[in-house]
Amino acid sequence: MSEVLSNNNNSIHDDADNVKPPIASVGIIGWIRHNLFNGPINSIITLAILYILWKVVPPFVNWAFIESMWTSSGAECQQADGACWSVIYANFRFIIFGFFPHDQQWRPLVAMILLVTLLLCSQNRNNWKKSLAYAWIIGLVIMGLLMKGGVLGLPPIESSQWSGLPLTMLLSVFGMVAAYPLGIVLALGRRSTMPAIKSLCVIYIELIRGVPLISLLFMSSVMFPLFLPEGLTINKILRAQIAIILFTAAYVAEVVRGGLQAIPKGQYEAAEAIGLNYYMKMRLIILPQALKVVIPPTVGVLISAFKDTSLVVIIALYDLLKTTQSTISNPKWMGFSAEAYIFIALIYFVCCYAMSSYSRRLERELDK
């Protein structure tokens, strides 16, 4: 067909067929021109950035990969110019599992695998059914039993030996699981028409949001023992856990309140008009809609709760950050803090990035 056309037509059309688009606006060169060198200012910026990258990236690669040591001893590392990743290789199990008895470390490992599996299953919105909630309850109980032991022939482990990554995950997961219902109750209380209940909730939420988490952790470590009757003591991890729950609940409450405010008034009135009482109105009409709206910001609260568990370092609990710190305060591995911190920063980053990109995906899906 085209042959016929080109035979019949004059030379101008012939040319138009053969003319290629200008090389400077397509392909790699076109892309570079369009995205990096469109205009003098952008060209200068691009060149400046390239110069800085040239100054920074090769030395870093050299330090981190080429001249680095991976499996040597601490003394050998002192001689090397590059990074000493051996500090992680040699202390890997201590950084991750802390003081958990060496031969029992498969238990927190199984618990963490279980947790990650549950999280992966909960990702897909098609799985959001009642059975998933039961799976979570059973899973959390199994995780608790694995950590604590004392059943099925597992030797019991003192909670003072729980440390490292399992402790970080425990504090954030149980913190969120317990803070969520408390936050919903507080949010409902804040939206209530009863002045006494409303003001109690407002005072609680604003008080907690106005102070840093660290003051609550101090409260849990130095003030809390004074609150309890003589003879009754609660262990340190549980006290920190309570502080984290109380703190996170206030933030969850504010997020849920946003969802409650986003539900049109007609929904409340319609629920009342068909004769539902307060509990049924909230349970059947309002909360299912409100909680769906606030799923993305709730993931945001979960991310900051996860990051905030690192603050328990200050009250001397051995979470992931503290086990790392005690590793590098060992004289054998002195001076390699940067490597160790980069390693656990990577762990935190992977977890938070997974959560935040999931929340963005969810936001897009829910927007449709």
Partner 1 sequence: MQPEPIDSSISIKPESIPFWNDPDKRAIFFQVTALIVVAVIGYYLFSNTQANLERQSIATGFGFMQKEASFEIGESMISYSAADTYAKALFVGVLNSLKVAFIGIVLTVILGTFIGIARLSSNWLMSKLAAIYIEVFQDVPVLLQLFFWYAIFYETLPSPRQAIHPMDGVFLTNRGLVFAVPESHPIHKYMLIAFIIGCTGVFFLKQWARKRQDETGRSFPVIRVSALILLGMPCLAWLAGGAPSAMNTPVLSGFNFVGGANISPEFGALLLGLVLYTAAFVAEIVRAGIQSVSHGQSEAAMSLGLKPGMILHLVILPQALRVIIPPLTSQLLNLTKNSSLAIAIGYPDFVSVANTTINQTGQAIEGVCLIMVVYLFFSLSTSVFMNWYNKKMALVER
How many CA within 13 A on the CB side of residue 319?
Answer: 26
What tokens does 84 get?
């000493």
Stretch that binds partner 1, among 40-48, 99-107, 257-265, 284-292 (CB under 8 A): 40-48
Write down the least CB distance from residue 35 to partner 1, Å: 4
By C-beta, is 139 or 297 nearer to partner 1? Answer: 297
By C-beta, is 42 or 261 nearer to partner 1? Answer: 42
Partnered with residue 69 across adjacent β-strands are 84
By C-beta, is 263 or 313 nearer to partner 1? Answer: 313
Tell me if 226 contacts partner 1 by CB under 8 A.
Answer: yes
For 277, counting Cβ atoms within 10 Å of its Cβ (0-12 exposed, 13-18 middle, 19+ buried), the class is: exposed
**Residue selected from 132, 178, 313, 362 as contacting partner 1 according to rule CB under 8 A:** 313
CA separation for the pair 351, 101 (Å, rounded) = 26
Ranges of beta strands (E only) in 121-275 are: none
By C-beta, is 53 or 284 nearer to partner 1? Answer: 53
Cβ 257 vs Cβ 187: under 8 Å: yes
**Residue selected from 63, 99, 174, 218 as contacting partner 1 according to rule CB under 8 A:** 218
Cβ 164 vs Cβ 98: under 8 Å: yes
Cα torsion through 33, 39, 44, 45, rounded to 10: -80
Tell me if 210 contacts partner 1 by CB under 8 A.
Answer: yes
Tell me if 311 contacts partner 1 by CB under 8 A.
Answer: yes
Q: How far is CA 142 from the centre of its chain?
A: 23
Which positions from 82 through 101 interact with partner 1, judged by CB under 8 A?
Answer: none
Write down the least CB distance from residue 257 to partner 1, Å: 14
Closest-CA residue to 175 (of 248, 113, 235)? 248
Total binding residues for partner 1 by CB under 8 A? 54
Q: Which residues are at the interface with partner 1 (CB under 8 A)?
A: 35-36, 38, 42, 45-46, 49-50, 193-197, 200, 207, 209-215, 218-219, 222-223, 225-230, 303, 307-308, 310-311, 313-314, 321, 325, 328, 335, 337-338, 341-342, 344-345, 348-349, 352-353, 356
